[in-house]
Amino acid sequence: MEAQPRRGHTIRSVDSALRLLEAFKDHPSLSVKEGASILGLAPSTVHRLLATLLGRGFVSQDPASRRYRAGPALLDIALGALQGIDVRRAARAHLEALTAEVRETVNLIVLNGARIRFIDSIEGPEAVRVSSRTGTVLPAHCTAGGKVLLASLDGSQLRALFPARRLVGLTAKSITDRDVLEAELERTRARGYATSFEQSTVGLSAVAVPIVDAGGLVIAAIGVSAPAARLDPDRVGRIVGAARETASTSSRDLRASA
């Protein structure tokens, strides 16, 4: 096994830059002063670090507020790493076929704590459509894909993710009570799919089904997102049927690759 570098061998400026990038996991944006407070460094030092990261595309800066956000280079690296995820590779061709069949945007979603991450997204061909969400992170309880993934957890796991009864919502239709969420997850388990009608974004609705591995564990979700006006109850059933077939073939290919 390759030896890990001792603390004395680390380069302080590199370590500070990496810690600064890590801060964007918990802070959507940062000012120089806030970055200095997090790192315990002088604002002038943090400004130089951010300027260097900005030049390489690892952060971007809002010209009006002067605040910094995670930049496109970080997303490129993340997506490059995602290329090696088996479920993404196994599902890609099937997601493309599903998009062509239902003519709506299809997403591949994984659980990340109490949030979900879109690891792949294929836009539908309609002129008015949901844009690609690859790389987006959202509260799991506000999305169809998130509900499918949360429904695979037991009660203790769910309470660990949501220790407070009150939940943060994204729209007026979001679930903001843990008891209501638990009842919704029970319905999801019973019917084998989840829905979200404008619970994550106003004007956007979605349905989702699970992908299971060889051991029967839910490892990802396939979601179909559409403008709310196009996802009426009758169409939900048709899309769920197509998505289930896609999930089944994706699971089959995942088992074969394993």
Average pLDDT of the chain to the nearest whole number: 89
In this structure, the answer to whether residues 150 and 218 fall within a common structural domain is: yes
- Say which amino acid occupies 7: R
Range of the domain at 137: 83-257
78 within some domain: no
Indicate whether 113 and 217 sit together in one domain.
Answer: yes
| pLDDT tier for residue 9 given thresholds of 50, 70 and 90 | low
Q: Which of 29, 52, 73 is the last residue of a domain?
A: 73
User: Is 90 exceeded by the pLDDT of residue 173?
Assistant: yes
Q: Are 53 and 141 in a shared domain?
A: no
- Domain-ending residue, one of 36, 55, 73: 73
Give the pLDDT confidence score for residue 79 in this predicted structure: 55
| Cβ contact 234:224 at 8 Å | no
pLDDT of residue 47: 95
pLDDT for residue 49 is more than 50: yes
Among 54-63, 74-83, 204-213, the range with the most confident prediction by mean pLDDT is 204-213
Considering its fold, how many domains does the chain have in total? 2
Q: Based on the domain organization, do 130 and 248 belong to the same domain?
A: yes
In this prediction the pTM is 0.69
**More confident position, 46 or 7:** 46
Give me the pLDDT at residue 135, please: 85
Q: Same structural domain for residues 145 and 223?
A: yes
Least confident stretch, 7-21, 100-114, 167-181, 210-224? 7-21
Q: How far is CA 68 from the centre of its chain?
A: 21
Cα 196 from Cα 11, distance rounded (Å) = 47
Give how far Cα 199 sits from Cα of 20, 53, 142, 202, Å.
Answer: 32, 35, 5, 7
pLDDT digit string, tens, across residues 230-241 = 998 889 999 999
Grade residue 20 by pLDDT with cuts at 50, 70 and 90: very high
148 and 26, same domain (yes or no): no
Does 229 fall in a domain?
A: yes
Domain of 208: which CATH number?
3.30.450.40
User: Which has more pLDDT, 59 or 7?
Assistant: 59
Residue type, 250: S
- 149 and 252 both lie in a single domain: yes
25: in domain: yes
Of the residues 38, 53, 73, the one at which a domain ends: 73
Could you give the 3-state DSSP secondary structure of residue 140?
A: helix
* Amino acid at the residue 100: A
> What is residue 3's predicted lDDT score, i.e. its pLDDT?
43
Q: Are residues 131 and 200 in the same domain?
A: yes
Same-domain pairing of 94 and 150? yes
Whether residues 16 and 144 share a domain: the answer is: no
Q: pLDDT band for 90, please (50, 70, 90 cuts).
A: confident
> Based on the domain organization, do 222 and 99 belong to the same domain?
yes
Share of the chain above pLDDT 90, in %: 67
Residue 4 pLDDT class (50, 70, 90 cuts): very low
